[in-house]
Amino acid sequence: MFNSSLSRRKFVAGAAAVGVATPLSRSVFAQTPVAEGITVTDVVGRTVTLPGAAERVVITSRTGFYTIAMLDRDNPFQRVVAWNDDLRTTDKDSYDQYLAMFPEAADLPVIGSIGADDFNTEVILDLNPDLIVIDLSGYNGAKEVGTTDILEAAGIQFVVVDFREHMLENTVPSVQALGRLLDRLDVALEFSDFYLAETNKVYDRVAALDPEAPRPSAFIQRAPGVADTGLTFGAGNFGEFIDRAGGINWAEQYVGTVHGTVNPEQILVGDFDVLIMTGANWSDNGSVEPGHFISMGYEATMEAIQTEIEQVIVDANWQDLPAVVENNVHTIWHQFYISPYSFIALQQFAKWLHPDLFEDVDPSANFQALHERFLPIEYKGIFFADRETQS
């Protein structure tokens, strides 16, 4: 089922009602200040109250940084007192762009994974933060190992955001919650309007498709050359994007969770129409071999991308897949799957699945507009690519 048109001041929301179109005011999650300070409800239903705008913030994942970079455009690091190092290790192009503009980022204390059982909570407590930004998957891990109990007992406020599990429902409320807590609600609402206008371009047209007509199927290979062959998405994240963009997520029949793996032998006999692979600059990961992943991002070149696409196909022995033979192979920037910019990927998936229907939609131009309106860094590089026809 696909969403009907949503007004610019309404959106699909509700972490507990994934896939259900529930029109709400765009500001429903950006609650009004109370006498005691600022109060919001995060994506897991927790109430978060601060006496005023947060000035000392800990970021536990790059997903939080991508959002704060929009809200604190003049200096995304002005209130960050510690962060996870995953921007450098998983998105070096972005890290380098921000480091060039804000060299003080190199001196920030680095924390580990908040969901790990060996996470050092004392490091955070010593920093005396006003607010910790935790992504949903990190929160689930931290809750399981007892880290959230320690933070709550110490009176440390944290807000749970989601740009990784069910982003189409949780991006707007996550951005607005952070906007309130950082006293950047005006920016958060401006972004919300932009986000909703662009996602509706997809929803409106998909809703008009003949429900009886066959839809193209797609398989998404997540981080080839970095992750196990077959790592992909089920009913969530990019897998949900395929469905909402008017296609069929081929992997969902084998993966019952948001993130999971399809047996590589099953892929070899897969009859999906389109192959999409994610890529980023993982050169600082330390455990990957250059040339065997697809380096998308701000410093990417088309020549290198095309060479890397072919290498990934050879590495996986996918030369005879129907999507490869028919040259319906594409690659996209991996970080769309974990950021508020993910709606750009939704548009690009729609173009790949229904090129005639979305001929006039330009995700690249929209991503450039996002940079110009909300981000401090320049839009350059390559974030989507089609495999060139092989002779």
For the chain, domains (ranges, CATH) are: 10-198 (3.40.50.1980), 214-386 (3.40.50.1980)
| Predicted local distance difference test score (pLDDT) of residue 161 | 98
- Name the DSSP class of 227: B
Confidence of residue 77 (pLDDT cuts 50, 70, 90): very high
3-state secondary structure of 49: strand
Confidence of residue 31 (pLDDT cuts 50, 70, 90): low
pTM above 0.75, yes or no: yes
Q: Which residue has the higher pLDDT, 123 or 18?
A: 123
* The token pair that represents 200 in the structure block: 């509706």
| Predicted local distance difference test score (pLDDT) of residue 291 | 80
Secondary structure (H, E, C), 288-332 = CCCCCCCCCECCCCHHHHHHHHHHHHHHHCCCCCHHHHCCCEEEE
Rounded CA separation 105/276 (Å): 33
pLDDT average, residue stretch 11-28: 35
CA 12 to chain centre: 17
User: Got the DSSP string for 73-89?
Assistant: TT-TTTTEEEEETHHHH
pLDDT average, residue stretch 251-276: 96
* The token pair that represents 159 in the structure block: 């807000």
| Predicted local distance difference test score (pLDDT) of residue 390 | 59
Q: pLDDT tens digits, residue range 113-131? A: 998 888 888 989 999 999 9
CA 86 to chain centre: 14
Q: pLDDT tens digits, residue range 345-387? A: 999 999 999 999 999 999 999 999 999 999 999 999 999 999 9
Sheet of strand 57-59: strand arrangement: 110-111, 80-84, 57-59, 131-135, 158-161
Please check the confidence at residue 203 and state whether its pLDDT lies above 70. yes
Q: What percent of the chain has pLDDT over 70?
A: 90
Please check the confidence at residue 332 and state whether its pLDDT lies above 60. yes
| Predicted local distance difference test score (pLDDT) of residue 389 | 73
| Predicted local distance difference test score (pLDDT) of residue 289 | 79
